[in-house]
Amino acid sequence: MSESVAPLQGFVRADGRKGIRNVLVVAYLVECAHHVSRRIAQHFDDLDVHLIGFPGCFPNQYASRMMRALTTHPNVGAVLLVSLGCESMDRDALREHIVASGRPVDLLVIQESGGTATTIAAGIEKVGAMRTELARQTPVSMSLDELVVGTICGGSDGTSGITANPAVGRCFDHLVADGTACVFEETGELIGCENIMAERAVTPELGELIQACVAKAERYYQTMGFGSFAPGNADGGLTTLEEKSMGAYSKSGASPISGLIKPGDIPPGGGLYLLDVVPDGEPRFGFPNIADNAEIVEMIASGCHLTLFTTGRGSVVGSAISPVIKVCANPETYQRLSADMDVNAGKILTGEASLDAVGEEIYRRVKAVAAGERSVSEALGHQEFILTYKSFEPIGPGCLPVRQV
Amino acid sequence: MREHSAVSSDALILLHPDDNVLVTARSLPEGATMTLDGQALVLTGALPVGHKLARRAMAAGDKIVKYGVPIGSLLAPVAPGEWVHMHNMTSDYLASHTRESGRQATQPSQESNS
């Protein structure tokens, strides 16, 4: 397994998983509680107090499952739930779920707490007390086979598939060899890669499931009328969805694909996993992922401790809960936005570094950020978060063949 | 701005031996000259980094191959060295949209091209 890798430190949770951060989450359970929650979180101006939430008032199983997974993510140490009072989200069930995970949790209901100002004041007091409690926790040693790392591309261009994406693929190969669980996603951006991807599956049955999952994505986007292709992709030299797909696909590296999971499913062990982010059934709630952060949130719900984000045009986002490491593909973009980037993969095009060298640099950066160093977007205070309506059916037994053995 | 600078070989990348397009490794000015398989060519327009050039002459309907796999089909014939992009090629799966097409069609189009 891993040789001469400096031991990481993690905060151990009751389920045995470890977090690389000890984040205090303030979660609104409907948009009507967003402002109060934001004021509570912003009061602390702390890189480890984050705001998340679900805006909808109508019930949604997926959103409930995601909120349970996110509030008990290993990077989360404590939770304050803020409810308006009349929304559909089952706040008591969510609270009980967090209590069962051993985390400090509290709940404020605005309609029962005297309104905006008094709820903000009460929330600040509760979060203050929970911060004191979290500050007393000490991390324990953690190894790379306890880490889950996701990858996404955003603002892709013609350089993404040549520099940053294959460099992340090299890093993934190192991590998989260390026993880390690595997650790649966005089946709608893998249209055209289904057959080569299926050949990498650990069983023929998993290969067929991967092909079916990409066919589902194609049908879904066909109904939406647009593929996952933004005007900026074309400005940057990408012409077709399958061209963008081939570039995106190289983030997965060369390891065998061990499983196919859906948002909220935790990889059962080390290896490479494909996350299916396109809803099941008839298209109902609009585009599968309205922006990059919706996908990042789904990878976090599947246990990702950090996300490798490759960008050609220049995305600046980070995320709540799990740090985002920015790998810039385009050397000209890097010159303009270097203060937002962790790694300059554009060096591959300017001849300053090889693909392997940049892959190594990303691998070292993963280990440093997992060991507590702030990523660039994290230090800048980026804590974006999106959760929308979706609908999924559970995965079948063929999706995780290793678990059956 | 008519600098007839000769493009060195590392300004264009061949990603896979089967590819019929090359990718620009840096932005190239209009009028840049290059040699492609022994043929001297002049760029008719500036090309940003990450864009594609035809490696040889091709006809409408030909598959464009990049990374060794087809990434779409040509809508019009191209000459060696010609820019290959939205104006002369299309997806074999789902059509790509641009800001311009978005101005005309406010409703999602149901037309299928597969």
- The pairing of strands A8-12 and A18-19 is antiparallel
- ipTM value of the model? 0.82
- Which pLDDT band, with edges at 50, 70 and 90, does A232 fall under? confident
Taking the Cβ of residue B96 and every Cβ of chain A, the question of whether any pair is shorter than 8 Å is answered with yes
Quote the percentage of chain A above a pLDDT of 70: 98
What single letter denotes the amino acid at residue A366? Answer: V
Check residue A6 and give its pLDDT: 59
CB contact under 8 A, A158 and B102: no
Residues 294-313 of A with CB under 8 A from B: 312
pTM: 0.91
For residue A48, give Cα distances in angstroms to A75, A384, B45. 10, 13, 49
Higher pLDDT: A319 or B102? It is A319
- Cα angle, residue A192 at apex, residues B101 and B100 outer, rounded to 5°: 10
Comparing B108 with A393, the larger pLDDT belongs to: A393
CB A361 within 8 A of CB A90: no
Indicate which of B19, B27, B67 best probes the interface with A, i.e. most A CBs within 10 Å of its own CB.
B67
What pLDDT, on the 0 to 100 scale, is given for residue A71? 98
- Residue pair A366/A308 in contact by the 8 Å Cβ criterion: yes
**Separation of alpha carbons A77 and A48, rounded Å:** 10
**List of residues 6+ apart from A162 with CB closer than 8 A:** A247, A329, A348, A349, B13, B15, B23, B50
CB contact under 8 A, B49 and A218: no
Nearest-CB residue to B50 (from A157, A221, A242): A157
Encode pLDDT of B42-66 as tens digits. 888 899 999 999 999 999 999 999 9
* Contact assignment for A349 to B25 by CB distance below 8 Å: yes
Opening angle at CA B32, ends B31 and B36, nearest 5: 120
Q: Which chain B residues touch A247 with a CB distance below 8 Å?
A: 67
Q: Pick the residue with more confidence: A1 or A177? A: A177
Ranges of beta strands (E only) in A91-241 are 105-109, 140-142, 148-153, 181-185
| Per-residue model confidence as pLDDT tens digits over A352-384 | 999 999 999 999 999 999 999 999 999 999 999
Tens digit of each residue's pLDDT (9 = 90 or more) over A104-128: 999 999 999 999 999 999 999 999 9
Contact A241 B96 (CB under 8 A): yes
